[in-house]
Amino acid sequence: MNKWILIAGGAVIVVIVVIIGAIAWLSQDTREETVEVSRGDIDVTIESVGTVSMRDSVQLVSPATTEVDVVPVIPGDEVQEGDVLMQLNRQPFDEAIEAAREILEQAETNLSLLNQADQPVTAEEIAERVAAQQQVEDAEEALSEAESMRARSLVLAPFDGTVIHVSVTEGDPVGEGSELVQFAELDEFELNANIDEVDLPLISVGADARIVLEAFPDREIESEIHSIARRAETVGGTTVFPATIRFDGIEDLLILPGMNAEVEITAEVRRDVLLLPEGSFQTVGRRTFVDVLVDGKIEEREIRTGIRSGGMVEIADGLEEGDEVVLP
């Protein structure tokens, strides 16, 4: 008898435990997870890559066909305006001057002989003297140009700067227009980056840009868009518009042309706008809806969104600051 009493008592206890658990489960907090509409700033950023170049790079070339006599500089040398960067062989320049002098002497002799003759009477005689005078003037100009060319056989630094590249060595033959030395100021740079045509309407000249050089990944350089090309290019099958970003050198960073960089451009900024996190609303076709908790009840509202960035979305219409939106 006592055995049955014990069994019955145990069964009652189990039932009680089950009931208590059910009550606890039914009474647990079933409130919906919500997020509050807040105010803040939001901006759209566009990422690109680019290559550093010199803002005022100068490529000095040979003024004539000759050869290189002396190269007193190497890449990396810092020089002052007027310093010698290269000496070209003067012989071709001297020969050009000598030839120009001979032509001038001949023209002057011819004009002198005409002037010693009787005064010109016919139109033909007048024309002959005018032509002789013109030949003298042309010869004088040619001699002046030859002397100027000889002066250019001494290649000088056009301004204070740094030797970037030397294209020749002593004894090398060079033709007229051949590259000799690349020279630039190493404190003024440009970054050339491509903007996808889809992003172009969002970007304008003067937009903020942040540059991170691959050589210095822990340093960020603040700059802005200086110019955007008005003609498209095709890169890898994508239509892009080249943009130029200018920035100054930094004292403790050795920035050199050709360095690769990543750039982040602030395309559009909204200040003091209503914001919600991505994923807190639902889109059906072209319409967007949220569930708002109002006095403990869920109310569906249609909203209009704006720009999106960094996981946040601008709420242009349909909500107010402080509204509690139920997460889907």
Compute the chain's Rg from CA coordinates: 41
Predicted confidence (pLDDT) per residue in 273-323, tens digit: 899 998 888 888 889 998 998 888 898 999 988 878 778 888 889 888 988
Query: Bridge-partner residues for 51, per DSSP?
Result: 192, 260
Averaging pLDDT over each range in 47-51, 66-70, 203-207, 246-250, which range is the top one? 66-70
- pLDDT band (50, 70, 90) for residue 183: confident
Segment 246-287, tens digit of pLDDT: 998 888 888 888 899 999 998 777 788 899 998 888 888 889
85 vs 115: which has the higher pLDDT: 85
**What is the CATH architecture of 66-183?**
Beta Barrel (2.40)
How far apart CA 115 and CA 225 sit, in angstroms, is: 67
- Per-residue pLDDT tens digits for 149-169: 888 899 999 888 889 899 999
Class in CATH terms, 34-42+271-326: mainly beta
Over residues 8-49, the pLDDT tens digits come to 444 444 444 444 444 444 444 445 688 888 998 887 788 899
Instruction: pLDDT band for 210, please (50, 70, 90 cuts).
Output: very high
Q: Secondary structure of 69-112 in the HEC alphabet? A: EECCCCCCCEECCCCEEEEECCHHHHHHHHHHHHHHHHHHHHHH
Q: How far apart are CA 243 and CA 255, in angstroms?
A: 20
CA distance 208 to 225: 7
Fold of 47-56+187-270: Elongation Factor Tu (Ef-tu); domain 3 (2.40.30)
Domain boundaries, the chain: 34-42+271-326, 47-56+187-270, 66-183
Contact partners, residue 289, CB within 8 Å, separation at least 6: 281, 282, 283, 300, 301, 302, 303
Q: Is the pLDDT reported for residue 3 higher than 70?
A: no
- Collapsing DSSP to helix, strand or coil, 195 comes out as strand
**Residue 103 confidence (pLDDT) above 50:** yes
pLDDT at 178 over 60: yes
